[in-house]
Structure 1
Amino acid sequence: MTTNDANATTHARGGRSAIIEPGVGYLKGLRELPRHLTLKSISAGTVAAIFGCSGPALIVIGAAEAGGLTGSQTVSWLFAIYFLGGLISLVLAPFYMQPVVGAYSIPGAAILVGALTAFDFNQAVGAFIMAGVLVLLLGLSGVIGRVMRWLPMPIVMAMIAGALIRFGTGVVTAVGAAPLIVGAAVIAFFVVMRFVKAFPPVLAALIVGVAMAAVTGSIETASIDIAFAAPTFTVPTFTLDAFLAISVPLAILVIGAENAQATGVLMVEGYRPPINAMTVISGVGGILAGLLGGHNANIAGPMTAICSSEQAGEDKGGRYAAAVVNGVLFAAFGIVAGYAVPIILALPRPLIGAVAGLAMIGVLLTAFQQAFSAERGHQFGAFVALIVAMSDMKLLSISAPFWALLLGVLASWLADRVEIRRATTVAGT
């Protein structure tokens, strides 16, 4: 039985399937980990960690500043989401031998920039915990798994393409912002891809980019005023207003944005992701992070895309090693967040964005191919899902990936029925 077959198997208990998908187990995953710790898997995991520890950290710091948090509260927030996010990778990746990466909700942090001006931090912490409870209950119900498996694959792939296309266009934007640094990184990526098969192109891009940044004097220590402090406990206050304004949108973002993206990219790469387990652990992560003053620790969409891509190695069965590397680095960043933030942020932002975009090229290509394959139908719905996800729209505080799936399915039901019937007929002959 293959790894993916094992992950797809369910245990029948009393005529019902287990809610949490069975995996290959930690012993097998850890036993085979050393041989999968290749230069490619280590570099992909490192690139994903650098991406997650740079720009997104600024969003969290901005939200903390907007809410008037103390230095220790801010460090506690960073510790909660980074340490627990890394722990999620270390729990799921070896157990399922799939590159499932944990982090936190980046759009969730963004909505808190405004929310923390309306609610005190005790109310926000109560809302964080309630959001985790919502996600946990949805995971235990098995509803999310059934919905994701019911969604037409072309629409899911189109949503992934639309949600991640900003990383592709971000490479072009980054070249314009820092032509020498990013241009050298891009050239290194394609030269190594073409001529040096044994070396990871994304690692070459990072090394050359950092070297060029050092030569041009573009590496500057970030002036983030956070000293090291131990994590602190904030007493939660539970209110209906905070539940409606923070908990509900945050839970929807975790499921409809981060988890949906991660599930989609894993499907793009040929995995059968443990959707219910991913949802349950995101709920547990939300509760635990809330107790430490963080908004949510959950499955990461873009970072899962990096670690599951071909940049993490040719052997798909071994790419989970990239997620393990990422988990170790992420957790370590959380422990020393007060010191590590300025160091990570010293790297040029355009370089970080460009390297992340280069790592996702393979994922984007596969997503587009599967979304608009004429043999599979749903092309109109896939197009709607693509443009909605690309628009980065927010409606009712819910981000674009959720609406892309919903509107894509609706458009396909209205406009693709003849094509779907034809594709089904052809597939059955």
Structure 2
Amino acid sequence: MKYSIGESLKLLPKHLNANTISAGTLAAIFGCTGPALIIIGGAKDAGLSMEQTIYWLFAVYFFGALIGLYLALKYRQPIVGAYSIPGAVLVAAGLQHYSLSEISGAYFVAGVIVFILGISGLIGKVMRWIPVPIVMAMIVGAMIRFGTGMITSLQGAPIIAGAAIVVYLFSSRFIKKIPPILSAFVVGVVLAALMGGFQSSGMDAGLSLPQILLPSFSIDAIVSVGIPLALLVIGAENAQAIGVLMAEGYKPPINSMTVWSGIGGMITSFFGAHNANIAGPMTAICSSKEAGDNKDGRYGAVVVNAVLFGGFGIIAGVAVPFVTALPGALVSTVSGLAMIGVLVSSLQASFSERRFQIGAFFSLVIAMSGVSFYGISSPFWALIGGVLVSLIIEKTDFDSFKSEIKVNEVTNIDSVI
């Protein structure tokens, strides 16, 4: 359902509370640390200048924030805009073989592909034909690394990670007025500061105004980078975000999310940046119970995140050295704690009913494996594999599922813009 953006803004103050503010802030911290390092490292390996790196960061953070802000206010759902993390890994490798102008042309084509799939409504129809247990199992498999990362952080930084986990548990039990994830993060930051856990990023700070880059088009770059990037945006980030929102009881505007992810990709290509689109992990944080019990108000977390994310993009040259100094163990631990609700609800949705159990299992293990074929990451293949397995050995489940779709399909098509 669409809403007036003006009306959503009027209602926003009552939805800005400790829960939404802390969830939005934590999602921004997650998005501005590890993922930023992937871009910075990839740009450095490709020989990009400091200015080109900052333009890249500006585009994905600023326009990603605008996408999330628009969709959150339009639909009053916690849909977070950012960029494709596996896409950043893909294009960092591609930059070794193509010029920045050529690879920017591939980015533009990727955006066009995503846009066409969204505006045609094809993505919405496809996603409606994928059984929910298989989607939810993919979410668990793709995001379980956040849970395991919380535990493995205990090995590298037992005091910081352990204290954050203990504070989270006791806050959940005894302190109801303060979000436990916020308490855990604050204690972790204080301990890291006292123990000298903050590290210099080694990157000089400075402001730089973004400049327009005109893409050029290379068939090789489009085939090697553009098409796989489009599939990553749809099959990894968007699919994760859609699944997370479904797990939390929302009816995500699938076509609209895809259309705006395509528009984001076309715009960012003119700054030498790979794609601004819907963010799976950050949507998980802002849509979880950590963002408050009122599901209708969780979009406030996205507004907070968008302000911080967009601000990070504008002052990327100054902000990156400071934000990336946060201890990795603390970021991993807090991210894992923030994902608990999403992982639990997704597991319940995956295996609580008798249908599609084998398909859901295959979807889970494929996504957990982290395999990548033809440059496309495991979440996409998890959906494909789960559906194929169910079609082969759970045909009766699909027969009943088709009947339900035919009943609901006429009332569930979302408009795109």
Which of the residues 389, 394, 408 maps onto 2:367? 389
Q: Which residue of 2 aligns with 1:46?
A: 25
Match of 2:218 among 230, 235, 239: 239
Poorly superposed stretches of 4+, deviation over 4 Å? 418-425
1:201 to 164, 180, 194: 180
Matches of 1:291 and 1:226, distance apart in 2: 24
Inter-partner Cα distance in structure 2 for 1:251 and 1:402? 12
Give distance in 2, aligned partners of 1:60 and 1:225: 16
Say if 1:339 and 1:413 are closer, same or farther in 2 by CA, change over 3 A: same
| Counterpart residue identity of residue 336, structure 1 | I
Q: Deviations for 1:336-390, whole angstroms, at most 9, x for unmatched residues? A: 0011001101110110111011011010001001101234x00000000000000
Instruction: Find 2:251's aligned residue among 258, 268, 272.
Output: 272
Deviation for aligned residue 1:226: 5.5
> For the Cα contact (< 8 Å) 2:22–2:291, is it kept in 1?
yes
Q: Distance in 1 between matches of 2:64 and 2:190?
A: 30
* 1:118 maps onto 2:97 in alignment: yes
Deviations 1:27-85 (A, max 9, x none): 22111110000101000000000000000001111121122111111100000000001
**Alignment check: 8 A CA contact 1:71 1:226 kept:** no
Say yes or no: does 1:129 pair with 2:113: no
Q: CA deviation at 1:243?
A: 0.6
Q: Does 1:76 align with 2:55?
A: yes
Residue 112 of structure 1 and its aligned partner are, at CA, apart by: 1.6
Q: Assess if the C-alpha contact under 8 Å between 1:67 and 1:121 holds in 2.
A: no
RMSD (Å), alpha carbons:
1.4
Aligned residues between the structures: 403
Q: Where does residue 304 of structure 1 map in the other structure?
A: 283
Work out the CA distance in 1 between the residues paired with 2:160 and 2:189.
8
SS at match of 1:394: coil
Amino acid at match of 1:301: G
Q: 1:180 to 1:295 in 2, by over 3 A?
A: same
Answer yes or no: is the 8 Å Cα contact 2:131–2:401 preserved in 1.
no
Unaligned 5+ runs, structure 2:
404-417
Report the equivalent of 2:391: 413
Unaligned runs of 5+ in 1: 1-6, 8-22
SS in 2 for 1:32: helix
Counterpart position of 2:44: 65
Query: Any residues of structure 2 matched to 1:414-429 within 5 Å, and which?
Result: 414-418=392-396
Which residue does the alignment assign to 2:166? 187
Q: 1: CA distance between counterparts of 2:401 and 2:309?
A: 44
CA distance in 1, matches of 2:203, 2:368: 32
Q: 1: CA distance between counterparts of 2:187 and 2:357?
A: 40
- TM-score relative to the length of structure 2: 0.94
Instruction: Tell me: CA distance 1:409–1:228, structure 2 relative to 1, closer, same or farther (3 Å).
Output: same
Distance 1:58 1:187 in 2: 28
Match of residue 352, structure 1, among 318, 331, 351: 331
**Whole-Å Cα distance in 1 between the matches of residues 321 and 313 of structure 2?**
13
Measure, in 1, the Cα distance between the counterparts of 2:42 and 2:101: 15
Q: 2:377 aligns with which of 395, 399, 404?
A: 399
Q: Decide whether aligned partners of structure 1 residues 96 and 259 sit closer, same or farther in structure 2, where only a CA change above 3 A counts.
A: same
Taking the aligned partners of 1:29 and 1:114, their CA distance within structure 2 comes to: 41
TM-score if structure 1 supplies the norm length?
0.92
Q: Distance in 2 between matches of 1:246 and 1:423?
A: 36
Cα distance in 2 between the residues matched to 1:130 and 1:77: 17
Number of the residue aligned with 1:165 = 144
Q: Could you report, residue by residue, the CA deviation over 1:311-356 in whole angstroms, capped at 9, with x for unpaired residues?
A: 0000000000001110110000000001100110111011011101
CA contact (8 A) 1:122 1:234 kept: yes
